[in-house]
Structure 1
């Protein structure tokens, strides 16, 4: 497995810019570099309307904000993790918590590029998705939405996507998002990677990290301006109430971050 993974990253590094932008390893799609493929990465603006929830699909290249969009309300961008969906429980829990507080929320749905069981290719695809998020952020600037006023929340692999997006913005605009929150950033295949290939404190003006499964599914080292280790950051009490397999307890802790975060959302 590790030999295959090393070869996969070697191929990516050597042939990046030479091979086509998209190909596949078995049934696992592999995308990288620009342009953003809007058939695989979708953006949905969700906001609380007076008489019910309002959701609008956004084109990252030519975003058209709906009538009545409130520019005085901050924007939150929510990114799901590996094997997730734009409409999964983790994403909807967090987005709804912010909507209920009156925020504008854009949900990033990259499910086709992060599907099970394709973890190694999903890791590489995070770079492409990060580029897509950055494209959207740049396109929103002429509409009066500065990245400095945007807060990006990413789960697991989504946390690293947020980091790639922030890094790309720094390269293009010279500045990045106002804030990135990483919810238990993924550890597998990121353990020894450089800062260019993971979320770190240089990717936004303020980066806060919440750790819930450190050392297994989530990263253990402090990588933000502020790192929170919930219940020590490893085993979560909720996941150890009854006898179970240790790895499943860790997986439970990794998946628990979205519930812990959405009930404590703050600006």
Structure 2
């Protein structure tokens, strides 16, 4: 950790099922952060416990989350990282893992971003056993493959539903039952939100149908991804493009 800067913002990235700490979205997010800010980026690699049977991996996410919580405590108490400089980001099963870490730390984390949190085996779990708004002072969620691979229910302080938050996302219409295209769209949107010249402007609404019908025009807006604002809680909907750049230029 010779290049670690104690007083700079620290981003902790946590991968999901059947992935590793150097997977595509982790590298993309790391590079996006480093292109824009002087930050520390740490990737938790729990491949050995996440690459087996999904049921076992889901069970392991709890203990991995607790270990992550201990590591965060070490950063704060022994290294001197200020609590307010920490931002923990998890994708899929990694989002549930960071939820366990936040619960273990009694909600002290300033921010958790859950990118399409894994839904299978977690839809009906109590809050203390899945990612929830109790796990950090600010929890923002991006839903892209809800109802099956991901979650569709509101679980954070701010929940974003690009294109309704469900599969298929634009240009993912021919994906298989694994919904990999729609699921992976979540981290692509988040990474782009760090560097994009256009914001992912979203509007507070009660449903995708009402949003599409224009019934929420003029309501409070917020911005999906890195610039999400904790002052405006609720459910937010937006449309995106089907390929990069995903953010829509509303000035055109």
Interval of TM-score (by shorter of Structure 1 and Structure 2): 0.7 to 0.9
Alpha carbons 2:17, 2:54 under 8 Å: kept: yes
Give the one of 24, 37, 45 matched to 1:89: 24
What is the match of residue 44 of structure 2?
108
- 1:246 positional shift: 5.5
CA RMSD of aligned residues (A): 1.5
Aligned counterparts of 2:42 and 2:175: Cα–Cα separation in 1: 36
Contact 2:21 2:46 in 1 (8 A): yes
Question: Which residue number corresponds to residue 255 of structure 1?
Answer: 184
CA distance in 2, matches of 1:127, 1:168: 10
1:71 is the counterpart of 2:6? yes
User: 4+ residue stretches of structure 1 with deviation over 4 A?
Assistant: none
More strand by share: 1
Structure 1 distance, partners of 2:159, 2:73, is 28
Q: How many residues align?
A: 193
TM normalised by structure 2 equals: 0.73
Equivalent runs, 1:1-267 vs 2, <5 Å: 65-66=1-2, 69-101=4-36, 102-116=38-52, 118-142=53-77, 143-170=79-106, 175-234=107-166, 235-240=168-173, 244=174, 247-248=177-178, 250-265=179-194, 266=226
- Pick closer, same or farther for the CA change 1:69–1:245 going to 2, 3 Å: closer
Q: Provide the C-alpha distance between the structure 1 equivalents of 2:76 and 2:103, rounded to a whole number of angstroms.
A: 17
1:239 positional shift: 0.6
Q: Which ranges of structure 2 fall in alignment gaps of 5 or more residues?
A: 195-225, 228-252
In structure 2, distance between residues paired with 1:147 and 1:112 = 29
Which has the larger Rg? 1
Q: Mind listing any 5+ residue stretches in structure 1 that lack a counterpart?
A: 1-64
TM-score by length of 1: 0.69
Specify which structure has the higher proportion of helix.
1
